[in-house]
Amino acid sequence: GAVVSQHPSRVICKSGTSVKIECRSLDFQATTMFWYRQFPKQSLMLMATSNEGSKATYEQGVEKDKFLINHASLTLSTLTVASAHPEDSSFYICSASVGLAGYTDTQYFGPGTRLTVL
Amino acid sequence: QKEVEQNSGPLSVPEGAIASLNCTYSDRGSQSFFWYRQYSGKSPELIMFIYSNGDKEDGRFTAQLNKASQYVSLLIRDSQPSDSATYLCAVNGRMDSSYKLIFGSGTRLLVRP
């Protein structure tokens, strides 16, 4: 149980393109979903926390107008990288939690999306 | 600033040995502690979580928690080359009115055949 999927797994796009990444919890309802970014040889960096039906909470330094998060249902959250540039190239990973809203319980990670912006 | 500290390694052990991975954390209010394994180029995979002081065993893995010392560890018995990966310690903490997982930078484990 506790399977999280992400789509697509890999994206290569031109600079200026908007990229949408989907994160789905397949066998449970996720109260909270998280979006992380990881650069090579670095640890996970939390970008934002999203609860179903409410606005995402962004970490300091993360541009909410560039990284648009929609958490439409208890099983789906999307991250849209608006007008991507080469510096946005990274490994984007979502996770889903079954904890109560506002409380972080165990997080299960999706397989990640590798974004390369040319 | 709430922090989770891990030795970056690499920790090198021979096949069949016990690998001991350590983690300290700064927030005394933390209640949940997690160990994730991350292979190169892949996303983290949950190995174990622990909430109470003491040991928790799951197969070849044992998590140890000492809240008084703010210390959590992961022991891997009978280490296999397939255990070679980066191990991330994560601690839940309350920040800005919500709970989040705070990750250490990870310890790279290398199991030599």
Q: What is the pLDDT of residues A76-103, one digit of tens each?
A: 999 999 999 999 999 999 999 876 544 4
pLDDT, mean of residues A21-27 = 94
Residue A32 clears pLDDT 90, i.e. is over it: no
Pairwise CA distance, residues B80 & B40, whole Å:
16
Over pLDDT 70: what percentage of chain B?
93
- Output the pLDDT for position B98: 64
Inter-chain residue contact A106 with B98, CB threshold 8 Å: no
Q: Are A74 and A52 in contact (CB under 8 A)?
A: yes
Shortest CA distance from A39: residue in chain B = B41
Chain B contact set for A110 (CB, 8 A): 43
- Output the pLDDT for position A103: 46
Residue A23 clears pLDDT 70, i.e. is over it: yes
Residue B66 clears pLDDT 90, i.e. is over it: yes
What lies within 8 Å, CB to CB, of A28 at 6+ separation is A1, A2, A96, A98
Residue B56 clears pLDDT 60, i.e. is over it: yes
| pLDDT tens digits, one per residue of B91-102 | 987 666 567 888
- Output the pLDDT for position A41: 83
Pairwise CA distance, residues A22 & A114, whole Å:
13
Pairwise CA distance, residues B113 & B105, whole Å:
26
Whether A106 and chain B come into contact, CB under 8 Å, resolves to yes
What average pLDDT does the structure give for chain A? 90
Q: How far is B17 from chain A (nearest CA, A)?
A: 26
| pLDDT tens digits, one per residue of B21-51 | 999 999 888 888 999 999 999 999 999 999 8
Whether B92 and chain A come into contact, CB under 8 Å, resolves to yes
Q: How far is A113 from chain B (nearest CA, A)?
A: 9
What average pLDDT does the structure give for chain B? 92
Whether A112 and chain B come into contact, CB under 8 Å, resolves to yes
Q: Which residue has the higher pLDDT, B17 or A42?
A: B17
Residue B107 clears pLDDT 80, i.e. is over it: yes
Residue B57 clears pLDDT 90, i.e. is over it: yes
Residue B53 Cα to chain centre, angstroms = 15
Chains A–B, number of C-beta pairs less than 8 Å apart? 52
| pLDDT tens digits, one per residue of B5-23 | 999 999 999 999 999 999 9
Which chain A residues in 2-41 lie under 8 Å from chain B, judged by CB atoms? Answer: 34
Which residues, listed in sequence order, are joined to residue B48 by a DSSP beta bridge?
Answer: B35
Inter-chain residue contact A93 with B32, CB threshold 8 Å: no
CB-nearest partner of A104 from B92, B104, B106: B92
Residues recorded for chain B: 113
